[in-house]
Chain A
Amino acid sequence: MPAATSVAISLRDVSAAFRSPEGADVVAVRCIDLEVRPGELLTLLGPSGCGKTTTLRMIAGFQEPSGGEILIGDRDVTRVPANRRDIGFVFQSYALFPHLTVHDNVGYGLRVRRRPSAEIQAAVDEVLTLVGLEGMAKRFPGELSGGQQQRVALARAIVIRPRVLLFDEPLSNLDAKLRVEMRTEIQRLQRTLGITTVYVTHDQEESMAISDRIAVMNKGRIVQIGTAEDLYRRPASVFAASFLGRANILAGIVRDSDDGGVTLDVRGIPLRFLCDKPYPAGTALCAVVRPETIGIGKDGPLPGEVISRMYLGEKIEYVVHVARLVLQIVRYGAPEDDGFSPGERVGVTLPASCVQLFAAGD
């Protein structure tokens, strides 16, 4: 299937305000600017209520923005109704038409566009093969499994060759294994077709796996945009750091700083971190330390006690108390390595580098 000419999506100063059922005015999205590059898969990631679904629905045309403009390609679609924006939308609940067969479901958009039946037949067959559902054309949605329904929803959205593909948490109703399988599929398809895609999810692993770029959202704003690596390694805020991946947030006061580093007093424990910015003594800082960068062993600079241990096959997760600090530690180990038991005394090594420092309040 030849790729349609990829277009960019632009959101300029877009806001969305609602009236909730109880009558309160809620601002779901505040003045966001977003540029989705042609052909890329951009994920909107964030916790419940951050505004990511609302943003997606505004791009689709299901929700009218209360301010700002939305452009698809060069066209201002802010006031254009959903059925004229040439989009493909995959719903969380799949939204398959229960009274139509798979063939009719997938061909619906083409039928609405008045294509001749022969063309519809060919296109539907082609796309069903593409998503791995050959032979299912005559079935009804009620007869399909969750994963199969998902594929039908996907097929239906792409067969019309939209300029833009929008996904609203499409995998959240699937079990874990299927989720992993399907996300790879979606990524593969998107790369093949080259359609500009916006993908909404709250699952950060999923977003990291498939996206070209991720936009982390919180409370109606975009907190940071970047590749997965950018966001993981160089989070722009404590929120971003803790949302993408797990993090230990160590809040402390600067005791002193010198060339190349700073010593933080974290709950009475002096910890030194490398950094290239000098901080005056007394500044409140948060250090973000990833669990897999913390060392744990029989001996180590910081004495601690294992509080809990979770054996997860390829890794073991610990919660360790070091004085008054509670640290999450992940250790990827060899199969024979039993690790440490709860109650055991261990030594913890905190890394000096690979740590993000933020002024309190970031």
Chain B
Amino acid sequence: MKYAAIGLRLRGDPLRWVVIAGIWLLLFLFVLYPLGCLIARAFTDQGGVTFASVAATLTNPNHLRALRNSLILATLVGAIGTLAGFLFAFTAERTDLTHRVRRLLDFAALLPLISPPFTTSIAFVFSFGPKGLITHDLLGLQNAQVYGWNSTVAAEALTYFPLAFLALRPLIASIGNDLEEAAYSLGGSRWQVFRTVTLPLCLPGIANAFLLLFAASLADFATPLILAGNNLPVLPTDAFLQITGMFDLKGGAVLSLLLLVPAALVFFTQRWLTGRRSYVTITGKGGARPQAAKVARWLRCLLWAACIGLAAFIGYLYALLVYASSVVAFGANSAPTLEHYRVIFTEGIPAIKDTLIIALISMPLGGLYGVVVGYLVGRMRFAGRQALELVSMINYALPGTIVGIGYLIAFNDEPLAITGTAAIIIACYVFRYSPTGTRTTVALLAQVDRSIEEASFSLGAGTLTTFRRVMLPLILPAFFAGLGAVFIRAMTAISATIFLVSINWTLITVRILENMTELSLGPAAAFSVFVIAVVVVVTSVLDLVLGRMMGGTLQPSALRT
């Protein structure tokens, strides 16, 4: 009789307490304190607590409209993106794609995830505006409007559907053959089996994917900045504009707090969803599917067409980006030139240097921190464990604007005045993006039999030795996943860090935004291409290194004997 979640208790192991205390201190400083400052700023005026400004914001019809729009937008993006992600995942897993095509789909789905902000938006403007490549040149439509609901929903769905794809794909792959075979043997038709067996099993995963996309859209500041136009105010963009345009830090703080409520709701719903026992068995044996289970031919062709079409469209958008980066003046002068690249590597060198330094420092810090927290939370049992896990996720769950504004307010003055330094940006990245590594660590740890740690203890090793010699090598993939996630985000983030750049440290993404507003599209596109290239290279290297390390020693089967 095994009782789950009975952690290992080592009496009198002081190291454990030191580490836990240290993590709490960090969390307090870099998660709770900025959030507290933000709330304080919103609710105080000239030193006294007041609800006046909050009330004013809450009753302001424009802000309420922004809130309503944000929620509707997020719902639409969630629905459409999840659908697209599901279709992609289903096609990838169930329709006998050749290896090549599957790689193509993977890559197409990956691109939006590793791109700097605005890439989709810029391409949309050039494709669907009044003189758009698609609307005007291809379809001959006059005066097509690109600013507004349609574009924003489409662009965000395109940007975020890979999240759903990545989440749903292993789920669909893991639905065991046996369940569906049983259904067929009992006489169900393909559609019936899909409807009554496959789909219900996927439901928690679909719900989770929807929430992922909902949260992402809710926090998206960049796409609406370009595409929403003036009839579609949304909260994160409004908060940003309130601060940077109206120099109203307090107003911005209040607006971003409005975002807090739906974000928190989504977060807790997700926890509830993933906490419930999942009834999809992850023992899906691969291998040939029975003939009856294969998708009907006509449907298969349809799915292929849809997915390849989508992938091609994504490819077109990025081709547009590369094109814009290599012509003199997009739309006016299509003479090829390397001038824009020259510009980014001369005038843009400070931004490139700063971004790379910060990214390369954040990477190992974030990776290690994520793994340590994951180990604490996933394996040890101590008072306040649940609270620790929750708090460590806060900055990840919150929209970037909230985090950025909070840091700006909190760290501009004593006791910890680090605005204007690289440290503030690194701190933002580490505490905002390491939860990916934490989650992967926890998931990986769940697969490692508890007896392995007990074996190490029984042989005389303490907590640190066990962690170092036994657990860390086993969760290395999670560490690398964490590294990769932090690096990618460090290269492509903007919504939090736009408040944190300074005279001393600037980021490529902010430069892209500046270039966009100055209408230097060439350099903006060139920067974007550069970022994508760097991210692809670094993540490939990480993959390679991980593959080498894992080769031969870490068969998944050995993890659970």
Cross-chain contact B1 with A97 (CB below 8 angstroms): no
A selection of 20 A-B contacts at a CB cut-off of 8 Å is A20-B3, A49-B1, A60-B454, A62-B457, A81-B13, A81-B457, A82-B10, A82-B454, A83-B458, A91-B454, A93-B451, A93-B561, A96-B452, A97-B452, A99-B554, A108-B469, A140-B558, A142-B557, A157-B459, A160-B460
Q: Which residues of A contact B48 (CB under 8 A)?
A: none
Tell me which residues from 188 to 238 in chain A have a Cβ below 8 Å from any Cβ of chain B: none
Cross-chain contact A84 with B460 (CB below 8 angstroms): yes
Give A22's nearest chain B residue, CB to CB: B3
Cross-chain contact A83 with B555 (CB below 8 angstroms): no
B547-561 CB contact bits vs A (8 Å, 1 = yes)? Answer: 000001111011111
Q: Which residues of B contact A20 (CB under 8 A)?
A: 3
Q: Is A113 an interface residue (CB 8 A)?
A: yes
CA distance A82 to B11 in the complex (A): 9
Q: Which residues of A contact B455 (CB under 8 A)?
A: 89, 91, 95-97, 156
Q: Is B187 an interface residue (CB 8 A)?
A: no
Most buried by B among A82, A141, A173: A82
Cross-chain contact B474 with A109 (CB below 8 angstroms): no
Q: Is B145 an interface residue (CB 8 A)?
A: no
Output the least CB separation between A142 and chain B (Å).
4
Q: Is B461 an interface residue (CB 8 A)?
A: yes
Output the least CB separation between A88 and chain B (Å).
7
Q: Is A87 an interface residue (CB 8 A)?
A: yes
Q: Which residues of A contact B451 (CB under 8 A)?
A: 91-93, 95
Q: Is A313 an interface residue (CB 8 A)?
A: no
Output the least CB separation between A95 and chain B (Å).
4
CA distance A140 to B454 in the complex (A): 20
CA distance A76 to B560 in the complex (A): 34
Q: Which residues of B contact A92 (CB under 8 A)?
A: 451
Cross-chain contact A108 with B456 (CB below 8 angstroms): yes
Give B473's nearest chain A residue, CB to CB: A99
Q: Is B288 an interface residue (CB 8 A)?
A: no
Cross-chain contact B473 with A95 (CB below 8 angstroms): no
Q: Is B45 an interface residue (CB 8 A)?
A: no
Cross-chain contact A60 with B458 (CB below 8 angstroms): yes
Give B10's nearest chain A residue, CB to CB: A81
Output the least CB separation between B30 and chain A (Å).
33
Given A109-B460, A109-B461; 20 other pairs, CB 8 A cutoff: A18-B6, A61-B457, A83-B458, A89-B454, A91-B454, A91-B455, A93-B451, A95-B451, A95-B452, A95-B454, A95-B455, A97-B456, A98-B559, A99-B473, A108-B456, A112-B465, A142-B558, A156-B455, A160-B460, A173-B561
CA distance A92 to B452 in the complex (A): 11
Cross-chain contact A82 with B458 (CB below 8 angstroms): yes
Cross-chain contact A98 with B474 (CB below 8 angstroms): yes
Q: Is B22 an interface residue (CB 8 A)?
A: no
Q: Which residues of B contact A96 (CB under 8 A)?
A: 452, 455, 558, 561
Q: Is A5 an interface residue (CB 8 A)?
A: no
Q: Which residues of A contact B10 (CB under 8 A)?
A: 81-83
Q: Is A260 an interface residue (CB 8 A)?
A: no
Q: Which residues of B contact A48 (CB under 8 A)?
A: 1
Q: Is B349 an interface residue (CB 8 A)?
A: no
CA distance A95 to B266 in the complex (A): 39
Q: Which residues of A contact B13 (CB under 8 A)?
A: 81
